[in-house]
Amino acid sequence: MSADLVRLIELAESFPRQRILVLADLVADEFVSGEISRVSREAPVLILRHSETRLTPGGGANAANNLVDLGAQVQLVGGVGDDAAGHALLEYFSGKKVSITGIRVLRGWTTPTKTRYLAGFSHTARQQVLRVDREPRHPFPATARDHIARRARQLAARADAVLASDYGFGAVTPLLVRSLRRAVQRPITLDSRYALLDYRATGVTAATPNEPELEALYHARIGADRGALERLGRNALRRLGLRALLVTRGKDGMALFEPRRATVFIPVFGAPEAVDVTGAGDTVIAAFTLALSAGATYVEAARLANYAGGIVVMKRGTATVTLPELLTALRGEITGDSPMLHTPAAAPSYVPGGTGRHAQ
């Protein structure tokens, strides 16, 4: 186990040398916090005394933000509206020394923004009581998508890996990914919220859906049925022509599918109950992509992503994992001084006979 962990540490230490191109639907996550004052006499709702409003990168922008905090050199390609949220995202990434030359500012288009209202009493944790989403009323402009495609092909030539984050707002499409695969030979990882199967025959290397997304694709229920997970995972792996499919399963950890290899189940790292899972999938694909870029096997990349995911779900709101945090967790596993509760025997387990040849 120690030798495996040393290998993971070596991979993580190489993250700052990796250049990652991110194609993304850029989203703003806004958090409005307030102290509960009283119940309104106008309606049975809480009145909050405003404390603060905080805006952070969300959606594909959160995946890029995690890459940055894990040490990567990031080129970000996408579009934002000519509005307060869009300019806030541009300012944020400029402040973190991320190249934003690939981001198109679109007049008349709305930057997707998810506003969460958090309420609590003095000296208590804030709880989410309401979420309001602002979304574009018009499709993503075709001219902007063409600009993004050209810029992506230019930047991909200098990238070590490509991360595509499709949240359904139109900046990232199967056609764009297919054209990019023809232009470069780099690992391409995909997180598609609603249209994963549309990316078949696009040249994607690996995808990272969560279990509910996999269930939704096949209108099926997995629950505690590993056989159902095996069937659905193998089906998606085969239909998409992937080299790896990493399914995140919340408190049940992860399942990694590869052609002609047994399915690998990785126990969750950290406490079994998450504090906040907002944006955890973005952290997972960021760490997974970086690890592949650094030369990791798919199992090694999945294990590093599992550590990163276990750390980030213990933070509130849309959060990131930093490279020092990841390295501290890995070194703590070796010394037994990990600050997080975890399962000591966290080695991957394999499903006997779980190979592509036996998949239904």
Q: 207 versus 353: which is more confidently predicted? A: 207
Burial class (CB in 10 A: 0-12, 13-18, 19+), 11: buried
pTM above 0.85, yes or no: yes
Residue 91 CB coordination number (10 Å): 11
- Segment 90-128, tens digit of pLDDT: 999 999 999 899 999 999 999 999 999 999 998 888 889
Share above pLDDT 70 across residues of the chain, in percent, rounded to a whole number: 92
Residue 47 CB coordination number (10 Å): 14
CA gap 124, 304 in Å, rounded? 33
Cβ atoms 248, 281 nearer than 8 A: yes
Share above pLDDT 90 across residues of the chain, in percent, rounded to a whole number: 78
| Residue corresponding to tokens 């307030």 | 34
**Both tokens of residue 94?**
């400029």
Q: What is the mean pLDDT of the chain?
A: 90
pLDDT computed for residue 339 by the predictor:
56
CA gap 57, 318 in Å, rounded? 8
- Segment 71-91, tens digit of pLDDT: 999 999 999 999 999 999 999
Structural domain of residue 110, as residue ranges?
A: 2-358
Cβ atoms 263, 255 nearer than 8 A: yes
Q: Is the pLDDT of residue 334 over 90?
A: no
Span 330-353, mean pLDDT? 59
pLDDT computed for residue 315 by the predictor:
87
pLDDT computed for residue 122 by the predictor:
82
Q: Is the pLDDT of residue 349 over 90?
A: no
The total domain count for the chain is 1
**Both tokens of residue 145?**
């998508």
- Nearest CA among 284, 289, 161, 316 for reference residue 211: 284
- Segment 286-332, tens digit of pLDDT: 999 999 999 999 999 999 999 999 999 888 878 899 999 999 999 99
Q: 336 versus 325: which is more confidently predicted? A: 325
pLDDT computed for residue 30 by the predictor:
95
**Both tokens of residue 38?**
């009283």
- Segment 238-275, tens digit of pLDDT: 999 999 999 999 889 999 999 999 999 999 887 667 67
Catalytic residue set: 282
CATH number where 49 lies: 3.40.1190.20
pLDDT computed for residue 324 by the predictor:
96
pLDDT computed for residue 343 by the predictor:
38
